[in-house]
Amino acid sequence: MRTPTKRNAFHTMGCKLNFSETATISRDFIRQGFEQVDYQNKADIYVLNTCSVTDNADKEARKLIRKAKRQNPKSSIVVIGCYAQLKPNDIAAMDGVDIVLGAEEKFNLLNHLNTIDLNGGTKIMQSDIDHVRSFTPSYSSGERTRSFLKIQDGCDYTCSFCTIPLARGSSRNDTILNTMQMAQEVAETNTREIVLTGVNIGDFGKGSKETFFDLMIELNKLEGIDRIRISSIEPNLLTDQIIEYCAQSEKFMPHFHVPLQSGSNKILRKMKRRYKREYYKDRINKIKYNIPDACIGADIIVGFPGETENDFIETYSFLNDIDISYLHVFTFSERSNTKAIEMCEVVQKETKVERSKMLRILSDKKQRYFHDKFIKHQRPVLFEHMKNGKIIGHTDNYIQVHVKTESNFLNTIQDVKLIDNLTTFVVGDIV
């Protein structure tokens, strides 16, 4: 299938891993002469890269498909990503969808567009997830300041609430040599910061003699990149070795995102997580001992089946006591083909809403406390974009900073004195 104008638009839902994959696929389109337009504009081909972590993600995907068709009724609509792998028939049943591509097929999108006959209705191309073995390296581009580098895909864990192994398959990655070649390609784009992304990046190298720590050592030698961040890492894979290396590295930033999910050992067991709250606390203490200024984020799920009021209070108290900087709060959402959906003791919606609200307030409190510690201090800030006469960026330890200035410091690192804490961001002055 070819179009005279060759205008295409992408929209990405979900995680940074999805963003890196969308960018890689879109670069293939550009190399073939396509004009990239915003998803809000009229295009000939719309590509929706979906997420399916929550029920809301499913609903949003449906809305975006309808929106694209309204913008150009004659357009072709392609749906890829986790939702496409998990529920291809549901997507194919939606009006206007032409092609649905699973986890392995999405990277051959251009070839499919050129070879598939769309006259016979929606085409589904999806491999059994148990047979998905290939790894396609990816990185985001176009933001100049920061790039999300995919170093790993899939997951071998069996958390009872999660569909990601069903959507992305088993854990896999490229060699360190090939990963470094991709990182070097990123370094040649004038990007200043790399964020390492994947489903379970601490699992890098599983089944080989290479490890995530080995990769860190090589990345630390990478020229042309000033900053490297670890996007998210499971607590059971966050070793003393990794923490201590980050403490002495000038390139790896003092910023960790360590998913917790629950502060109750009972609920952690039901979730089939691979640690107890005591071990999680030990990881946080280890980070803070070695890197006192480190920013630490955590994921929390509220309303998991069987979570009693006492379980929630236990989680709340645990989070209140440990030295973390912010929370990502998720309300439990039942997903098909997970163990959690079979569990009794469903938590009422009103209870979930109230618990989520309490944890978000706690997150604001934690973030304000963390920011307060650095007021009147100087931190290096990488400036990313301008908005309303202010230049905005992040410190090494992930504090968002707004500076009023007429100077163009975009994509530069400047020393900034932090002046005023507004909870979600800090106002500063360039020194």
Task: Note whether 317 and 390 are same-domain residues.
Answer: no
Q: Is residue 220 part of a domain?
A: yes
Task: Note whether 194 and 155 are same-domain residues.
Answer: yes
Three-state secondary-structure class, residue 185:
helix
Task: Note whether 151 and 291 are same-domain residues.
Answer: yes
Residues 6+ apart with CB under 8 A from 26: 8, 10, 36, 47
Task: Note whether 186 and 82 are same-domain residues.
Answer: no
Model confidence pLDDT, tens digit, residues 260-285: 999 999 999 999 999 999 999 999 99
Q: Within 10 A of 291 (CB to CB), how many other CB atoms are there?
A: 21
Model confidence pLDDT, tens digit, residues 71-125: 999 899 999 999 899 999 988 988 889 999 999 999 999 988 888 777 778 999 9
Task: Note whether 118 and 184 are same-domain residues.
Answer: no
Task: Note whether 34 and 174 are same-domain residues.
Answer: no
CATH code assigned at 90: 3.40.50.2300
Task: Note whether 108 and 198 are same-domain residues.
Answer: no
Length, in residues, of the chain: 431
| Domain encompassing residue 399 | 378-430
Contact 274, 228 (CB under 8 A): no
Task: Note whether 310 and 228 are same-domain residues.
Answer: yes
Q: Is residue 1 part of a domain?
A: no
Domain boundary (322, 342, 372) is at 372
Model confidence pLDDT, tens digit, residues 349-400: 999 999 999 999 999 999 999 999 999 999 999 999 999 889 999 999 999 9
Domain boundary (327, 344, 372) is at 372
User: What's the pLDDT band for 1 if we cut at 50, 70, 90?
Assistant: very low
Instruction: Round the average pLDDT of the chain to a whole number and report it.
Output: 93
Taking residues 400-426, report their average pLDDT.
Answer: 95
Q: Within 10 A of 304 (CB to CB), how many other CB atoms are there?
A: 27
CATH code assigned at 423: 2.40.50.140
Total domain count, the chain:
3
Task: Note whether 172 and 253 are same-domain residues.
Answer: yes
Model confidence pLDDT, tens digit, residues 57-71: 678 888 898 899 899
pLDDT over 50 (residue 3): no
In the chain the first and final C-alpha atoms are separated, in Å, by 56
- Cα distance between residue 221 and residue 249, in whole Å: 10
Model confidence pLDDT, tens digit, residues 5-59: 589 999 999 888 999 999 999 999 999 899 999 999 999 999 999 987 766 767 8
In this predicted structure, what is the pLDDT of residue 226?
Answer: 97
Contact 109, 142 (CB under 8 A): no
Task: Note whether 192 and 282 are same-domain residues.
Answer: yes
- Cα distance between residue 103 and residue 107, in whole Å: 8
Task: Note whether 388 and 239 are same-domain residues.
Answer: no
- Cα distance between residue 296 and residue 328, in whole Å: 11
